[in-house]
Amino acid sequence: MRREMKTAKAMGGGPAPAATSAPVASKSKSQRLSSVATSVRLLKSFSEGEAEIGVTTLSKRLGVAKSTVYRLASTLVSEGMLEQNRENDKYRLGLALFGLGALVRQRMNVSTEARPHIFALREATNETVHLAVPEDGQIIYVYDLESTQAIRQRANLGERKPAFCSAEGRAMLAFAAPGDVDAIIAAGLQPRTPFTDINAKHLKAALEDVRQKGYAREDEQCEIGMRSLAAPIRDAEGRVVAAVGVAGPTQRLSEDVLARFAPLVVNTAHLISARLGYRSVAGF
């Protein structure tokens, strides 16, 4: 009997293999996370005073083997985040990081240039004013100026919402590449409230309406009891890079009030776009 039990375990018939699989998977995940962390530390090793660094120095600084540094550096080179100087074999930061930094700088510029106009819009409406930028099918709030009224909408800086059902998101999606909209639809439109419209045809019709009117509208599709309007902001090259919006409770933002606020929001978007260097030839 004892021999049979040993044979069964050796053949994998007992529960022992299942018990050892989890630690192996956990170790693999831990190794991947460690590689990511080391890659980030590697990139942070460079500075203005030390623009190029060799494998030996990186190995000592990071406390990992040269082979590990070479493997991570090779991956980062393939992604354009590092470059290798063939004359001395040292590494330096790649242009891909410059592109990412430019995106961050762009957001900072939008927020800076928009600030006085956002305050003016809040003064004119006394409702919460948002400034949002797009990212991977979502919007990120980079400025939030709250209404002074007791009942108001707020959005924490850095908060994300789906682009397809938010006014700011629709204002930007309306001028995005068709493939970007199709990708969002293919990923699945998930409702945030009972009023969220997840019909793809309705979404495309709404985006066409934004292109016609120059602004987007959202009725309780993101937040229960809240409505909002938003208009797109363009940069010097005419690309839609952000959106400015006004939001408030449904009991205050009636149809008449929305009609009165719409041109204010659109005009604010025009003024911010002009500050970013955009020059409209005809229309927006």
CATH 3.30.450.40 residue ranges of the chain are 102-275
CATH number of 102-275: 3.30.450.40
The reported pLDDT for the residue numbered 12 is 43
Cβ-count burial of 179 within 10 angstroms (0-12 exposed, 13-18 middle, 19+ buried)?
Answer: exposed
All CATH 1.10.10.10 domain ranges of the chain, comma separated, are 2-93
pLDDT digits 0-9 by tens, 244-272 = 999 999 999 999 999 999 999 999 999 99
Tokens 């493997």, residue located: 71
CATH of 2-93, one of 1.10.10.10, 3.40.1500.10, 3.40.190.100, 1.10.3470.10: 1.10.10.10
Length of the chain: 284
DSSP 8-state class, residue 149: S
pLDDT, one tens digit per residue, over 69-96 is 999 999 999 999 999 999 999 999 998 8
Indicate whether this model's pTM tops 0.85. no
Q: Which amino acid would we find at residue 273?
A: S
Confidence band, pLDDT 50/70/90 cuts, at residue 18: very low
Confidence of residue 145 (pLDDT cuts 50, 70, 90): confident
Sheet of strand 138-145: strand arrangement = 160-162, 138-145, 128-135, 240-249, 226-234, 216-219
Dihedral Cα 16, 19, 22, 25, nearest 10 deg: -20
Percent share of the chain, pLDDT over 90: 67
9 — pLDDT class (breaks 50, 70, 90): very low
| Residue 82 DSSP class | E
**What burial class does residue 246 get, using C-beta atoms within 10 Å of its C-beta: 0-12 exposed, 13-18 middle, 19+ buried?**
buried
Higher pLDDT, 54 or 104: 54
How confident is residue 30, by pLDDT bands cut at 50, 70 and 90? low
Helix (H, G, I), strand (E, B) or coil at 166: coil
